[in-house]
């Protein structure tokens, strides 16, 4: 009784609220928390006793650190470009024009396609021998030899950035578009009356009002990009010369190919910690009021 | 409200009954044995399964068709087996998985079911590669060995004989090729297991090796540097290999050769049959021979091959073994050889008159396969192979010099060998 009374202090309906989220919590516990617990356990169990040997090893694992660095570079470039492109898309589609509904719907097509399917499509497009782009370039005489989109380490890295950007810029666009839609028009009118030009209005109204949306999109995109797997797996498999071996591919290899389950679990935990820190930083910023 | 209930309740009851009946029906139909392999393009599996089911009423065999990539299928098996899942009763094992899967406790040892008298019927390399820790873990079904395919017509027109040494291969390729429409040589150059296979043949053709008798890596040797250099030069100096080779797995390699875009190709025996098919541009124009070698050395073929292991987690081990031993037997292997191509691992079938008329190349193939060398038999082979893949791929992309690659690969492999021998000692002691 006292417990119930105490819970009501936080929120009048707390017991009821707890009951209605219970099924979701149980489901999460079953499909997420339990496996996560097993992974933590596997990561600290070395030869039957608890130890941190796996964690000690990963700090000295230069291949892991290289793949991590590669993933950050990839995420940095890819997410930045997605934001530039996504912002452009959002600004274009926020303006009234003919056929806006169609474009808004079409925007979602890349986003809803499964990454693995798109990986195959991109492979078909970028392939050196029978790829469509090289075929067009060769026929039109723009290049003398096929461009090694997937066969050259630098090109392959760029190709993956391009493929990822194509797919996810619309996602950023859609979120920012939603943000633009809720900015009251009278703010702009008031600013215009006060003599603010286009650029000033953008920086004083649009950008601050959009910040929560930008941070939300940033959070989703960074977390997803750092964990990117399917697109790379299908498109290049990590090669050539490990140039596109992102951290999730490295972890998969350690776990399922080498069967170093404990070490693979420790690597996953490390990646989880990194993603968590990023998420906390972004959440911290989004709590601030502008 | 009541009205809705009238609809909802019978619907629920109907769905429930449907489930109920579908479950009991399955029980009546008997036991199902499942395994995973790539798409059954040739229809060989379908025929083998059909014949087996006819003779064994009550047992059904379910081929789950997975991706063409061996690595991906291995991950699929490993994910299920790690979870102790009984989805796969049989494991269609690549020869290199045997030690690792056996070490993980996923395979049922087959010494009792698969006695030595029965093993003698198979090619020695296949049995050797199926044996680990004193037990046999796998019934060989298909055997593989890397070999060199060449365009007989192009060589004859230019009046050159098939090459025997690495230098001859380069000079003939340079003479006959006309890039970008016709390249000299293609092989599996993508950073994956196939690259290790191709590299081992070059390495051993130069007289090199990977692991020595004292459990130390031998890659930091002049022979090994020669092998790395040959791979490098074939792309960058002699330019007999297209740069796209870095994206080639088996299928891409074969596709390039099939469409008449290459004079020479390194591939497995299965490619022979595909080359002879109706829509092949090189039909009747293909010759095969062992891989080339350095003067004074001999040709090497990397042993590959597939076979069945029985899963520890299977609920129907007897039935699974029944199917595995049937597929390992002459009838099924013959169907495979006829429909799918490749090479049977039963010695008797290599001399089978029906197969010989269809496969005039079997005598040469048999010689190659009898002496095919397994990849290092080690439960940590995947890690060793990964080191090789990374450094060969680095050499093929010119990001690492051959000498550096040989040196770095040796150090890394020694770390793996040392780490695991220490682990083994401590667990024993």
Question: Worst-scoring range by mean pLDDT, B74-88, B241-255, B330-344, B356-370?
Answer: B356-370
* A35 in B contact zone (CB under 8 Å): no
**Chain position carrying tokens 């406790």:** B105
Task: Look at B426 and A47 and tell me if their CB atoms are within 8 Å.
Answer: yes
How far is B243 from B258, CA to CA, in rounded Å? 18
Q: Which of A156, A256, A262, A265 to mutate to test the interface with B (most CBs of B within 10 A)?
A: A256
Distance from CA of A58 to the nearest CA of B (A): 15
Q: What is the edge-to-edge ordering of all strands in the sheet holding B303-310?
A: B90-94, B303-310, B139-145, B343-344
| Spatial CA neighbour of A62 closest among B387, B72, B379 | B387
Q: B31-144+304-359, which class in CATH?
A: alpha beta
Q: Which residues of A touch B400 (CB under 8 A)?
A: 241
A85 and A223 fall within a common domain: yes
Q: Rounded to 5 degrees, what are φ and ψ at B135?
A: -125, 155
Instruction: Compute the average pLDDT of residues A223-230.
Output: 92
Domain map (residue ranges) of chain B: 31-144+304-359, 147-300+377-425
Distance from CA of B397 to the nearest CA of A (A): 7
A85 and A46 fall within a common domain: no
How far is B323 from B54, CA to CA, in rounded Å? 12
Q: Is residue A56 a part of any domain in this protein? A: no
A171 and A217 fall within a common domain: yes
pLDDT confidence of residue A44: 84
- Domain assignment of residue A40, given as a range: 1-51
How far is A124 from B298, CA to CA, in rounded Å? 40
Give the model confidence (pLDDT) of A251-289 as tens digits.
Answer: 999 988 888 888 999 999 999 999 999 999 988 887 765
How far is A42 from A65, CA to CA, in rounded Å? 21
Q: Looking at the predicted structure, is the pLDDT value of residue B363 above 90?
A: no
pLDDT confidence of residue B313: 96
How far is A160 from A244, CA to CA, in rounded Å? 8
CB-based contacts of A65-71 (< 8 A; 24+ apart in sequence): A66/A242, A67/A242, A67/A245, A67/A246, A67/A247, A67/A249, A67/A250, A68/A247, A68/A271, A68/A274, A70/A157, A70/A243, A70/A244, A70/A245, A70/A246, A70/A247, A71/A226, A71/A228, A71/A246, A71/A247, A71/A248
Which of A128, A240, A257 is closest, CB to CB, to B393?
Answer: A240
Q: How confident is the model at residue B427 (pLDDT cuts 50, 70, 90)?
A: very low
Q: Which of B75, B192, B245, B247 to mutate to test the interface with A (most CBs of A within 10 A)?
A: B247
A24 and A161 fall within a common domain: no
How far is B276 from B257, CA to CA, in rounded Å? 12
pLDDT confidence of residue B429: 27
Residue predicted with more confidence, B429 or B21: B21
Is the torsion defined by CA of A106, A112, A117, A119 positive or negative? Answer: positive
Task: Look at A240 and B190 and tell me if their CB atoms are within 8 Å.
Answer: yes
**Chain position carrying tokens 């003939």:** B172
Q: Is the peptide bond before A240 cis (omega within 30 degrees of 0)?
A: yes
A129 and A168 fall within a common domain: yes
Task: Look at B192 and A239 and tell me if their CB atoms are within 8 Å.
Answer: yes
Which of A127, A151, A257 is closest, CB to CB, to B74?
Answer: A257
Give the model confidence (pLDDT) of A125-167 as tens digits.
Answer: 998 877 889 889 888 888 888 888 998 999 999 999 999 999 9
Q: B147-300+377-425: same fold as B31-144+304-359?
A: yes
Q: Is residue A97 a part of any domain in this protein? A: yes
Mean pLDDT of all residues belonging to chain A: 87
Task: Look at B75 and A259 and tell me if their CB atoms are within 8 Å.
Answer: no
Q: How confident is the model at residue B426 (pLDDT cuts 50, 70, 90)?
A: very low
Contact assessment for residue A85 and residue A217, using Cβ atoms and an 8 Å cutoff: no
Which of B190, B244, B390 is closest, CB to CB, to A129?
Answer: B244
Instruction: Compute the average pLDDT of residues A82-94.
Output: 91
Task: Look at A241 and B75 and tell me if their CB atoms are within 8 Å.
Answer: no
CATH number of the domain that A224 lies in?
1.10.3720.10
Q: Is the peptide bond before B180 cis (omega within 30 degrees of 0)?
A: yes
Instruction: Compute the average pLDDT of residues A52-68.
Output: 89
Domain count, chain A: 2
Residues near A58 by beta carbon (within 8 Å), at least 6 away in sequence: A64, A263, A266, A267, A270
Q: Which residues of A touch B426 (CB under 8 A)?
A: 47
Q: What is the edge-to-edge ordering of all strands in the sheet holding B147-151?
A: B183-186, B262-267, B147-151, B286-289
Q: How many CB pairs under 8 A join A and B?
A: 89
pLDDT confidence of residue B424: 47
* A148 in B contact zone (CB under 8 Å): yes
* A129 in B contact zone (CB under 8 Å): yes
Mean pLDDT of all residues belonging to chain B: 88
* A48 in B contact zone (CB under 8 Å): no
Task: Look at A253 and B78 and tell me if their CB atoms are within 8 Å.
Answer: no
Q: Is residue A57 a part of any domain in this protein? A: no
Q: Which residues of A touch B74 (CB under 8 A)?
A: 256-257
Give the model confidence (pLDDT) of A5-37 as tens digits.
Answer: 776 777 778 888 888 999 998 998 888 888 888
Q: Is residue A265 a part of any domain in this protein? A: yes
Give the model confidence (pLDDT) of B147-186 as tens digits.
Answer: 999 999 999 999 999 999 999 999 999 999 998 789 999 9
A226 and A168 fall within a common domain: yes
Task: Look at B399 and A261 and tell me if their CB atoms are within 8 Å.
Answer: no
pLDDT confidence of residue B341: 75
% of residues, chain B, pLDDT over 70 = 91
Domain end point (choices A16, A32, A51): A51
Contact assessment for residue B170 and residue B257, using Cβ atoms and an 8 Å cutoff: no
A107 and A213 fall within a common domain: yes
Question: Worst-scoring range by mean pLDDT, A210-214, B71-75, B230-234?
Answer: B71-75
Q: Pick B147-300+377-425's CATH classification: 3.40.190.10, 3.60.20.10, 3.90.1150.10, 3.40.630.30.
A: 3.40.190.10
Which of A237, A242, A257 is closest, CB to CB, to B382?
Answer: A257
A22 and A104 fall within a common domain: no
Task: Look at B397 and A259 and tell me if their CB atoms are within 8 Å.
Answer: no
Which of A238, A240, A261 is closest, CB to CB, to B396?
Answer: A240
3-state secondary structure chain A: CHHHHHHHHHCCCHHHHHHHHHHHHHHHHHHHHHHHHHHHHHHHEECCEECCHHHHHHHHCHHHHHHHHHHHHHHHHHHHHHHHHHHHHHHHHHCCCCCHHHHHHHHHHHHHCCHHHHHHHHHHHHCCCCCHHHHHHHHCCCCCCCCCCCCCHHHHHHHHHHHHHHHHHHHHHHHHHHHHHCCCHHHHHHHHHCCCCHHHHHHHHHHHHHHHHHHHHHHHHHHHHHCCCHHHHHHCCCCCCCCCCCHHHHHHHHHHHCCCHHHHHHHHHHHHHHHHHHHHHHHHHHHCCC
Helices A2-10 and A14-28 sit at what angle, rounded to 10 degrees? 90
* A239 in B contact zone (CB under 8 Å): yes
């Amino acid at each position: 009784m006292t417990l119930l009374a105490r819970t009501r202090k936080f929120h009048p309906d707390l017991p009821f609220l707890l009951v209605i989220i219970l099924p979701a919590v149980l489901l999460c516990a079953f499909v997420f928390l339990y496996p996560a617990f097993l992974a933590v356990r596997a990561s600290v169990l070395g030869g039957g006793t608890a130890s941190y040997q796996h964690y000690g090893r990963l700090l000295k694992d230069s291949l892991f650190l290289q793949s991590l660095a590669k993933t950050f570079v990839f995420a940095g470039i890819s997410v930045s470009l997605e934001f530039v492109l996504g912002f452009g898309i959002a600004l274009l589609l926020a303006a009234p024009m003919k056929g806006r509904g169609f474009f808004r719907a079409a925007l979602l097509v890349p986003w809803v396609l499964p990454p693995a399917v798109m990986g195959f499509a991109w492979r078909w497009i970028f392939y050196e021998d029978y790829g469509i782009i090289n075929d067009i370039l060769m026929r039109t005489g723009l290049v003398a030899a096929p461009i090694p989109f997937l066969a050259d380490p630098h090109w392959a890295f760029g190709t993956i950035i391009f493929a990822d950007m194509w797919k996810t810029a619309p996602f950023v666009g859609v979120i920012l578009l939603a943000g633009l839609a809720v900015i009251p028009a009278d703010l702009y009118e008031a600013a215009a009356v006060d003599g603010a030009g286009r650029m000033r209005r953008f920086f004083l109204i649009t950008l601050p009002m959009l910040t929560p949306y930008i941070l939300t999109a940033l959070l989703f995109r960074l977390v997803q990009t750092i964990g990117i797997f399917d697109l790379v797996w299908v498109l290049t498999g990590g090669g050539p010369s490990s140039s596109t071996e992102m951290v999730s591919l490295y972890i998969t290899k350690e776990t399922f190919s080498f069967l170093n389950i404990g070490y693979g679990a420790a690597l996953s935990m490390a990646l989880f910690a990194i993603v968590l820190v990023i998420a906390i930083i972004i959440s911290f910023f989004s709590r601030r009021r502008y | 409200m009541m009205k809705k209930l009238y609809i909802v309740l019978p619907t629920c009851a109907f769905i429930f009954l449907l489930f109920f009946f579908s479950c009991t029906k399955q029980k009546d139909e008997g036991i199902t044995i499942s395994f995973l392999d790539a798409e059954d393009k040739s229809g060989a599996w379908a025929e083998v399964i059909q014949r087996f089911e006819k003779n064994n009423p009550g047992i059904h065999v379910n081929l789950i068709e997975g991706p063409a990539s061996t690595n991906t299928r291995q991950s699929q098996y490993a994910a299920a087996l790690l979870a102790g899942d009984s989805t796969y009763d049989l494991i269609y094992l690549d020869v290199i998985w045997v030690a690792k899967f056996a070490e993980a406790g996923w395979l049922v040892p087959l010494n009792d079911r698969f006695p030595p008298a029965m093993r003698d019927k198979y090619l020695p390399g296949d049995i050797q590669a199926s044996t680990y820790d004193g037990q046999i873990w796998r019934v060989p079904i298909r055997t593989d060995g890397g070999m060199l395919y060449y365009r007989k017509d192009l060589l004859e027109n230019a009046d050159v004989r098939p090459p025997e040494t690495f230098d001859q291969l380069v000079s003939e390729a340079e003479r006959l090729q006309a890039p970008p429409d016709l390249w000299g040589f293609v092989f599996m150059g993508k950073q994956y297991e196939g690259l290790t296979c191709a590299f081992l043949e070059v390495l051993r053709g130069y007289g090199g090796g990977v692991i020595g008798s004292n459990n130390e890596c031998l890659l930091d040797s002049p022979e090994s540097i020669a092998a790395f250099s040959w791979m490098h030069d074939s792309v960058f100096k002699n330019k007999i290999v297209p740069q796209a080779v870095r994206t080639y797995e088996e299928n891409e390699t074969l596709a390039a050769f099939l469409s008449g875009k290459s004079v020479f190709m390194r591939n497995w025996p299965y490619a022979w049959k595909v080359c002879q098919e109706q829509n092949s541009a090189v039909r009747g124009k293909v010759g095969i021979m062992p891989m080339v070698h350095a003067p004074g050395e001999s040709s090497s073929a990397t042993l590959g091959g597939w076979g069945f292991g029985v899963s520890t987690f299977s609920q129907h081990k007897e039935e699974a073994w029944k199917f595995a031993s049937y597929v390992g037997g002459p009838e099924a292997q013959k169907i495979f050889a006829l429909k799918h191509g490749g090479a049977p691992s039963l010695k008797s079938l290599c001399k089978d008159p029906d197969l010989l008329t269809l496969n005039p190349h079997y005598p040469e193939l048999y010689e190659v396969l009898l002496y095919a060398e397994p990849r290092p038999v080690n439960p940590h082979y995947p890690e060793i192979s990964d080191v090789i893949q990374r450094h060969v791929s680095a050499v093929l992309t010119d990001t690492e010099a051959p000498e550096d690659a040989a040196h770095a690969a040796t150090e890394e492999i020694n770390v793996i060998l040392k780490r695991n021998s220490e682990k083994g000692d401590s667990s024993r002691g």
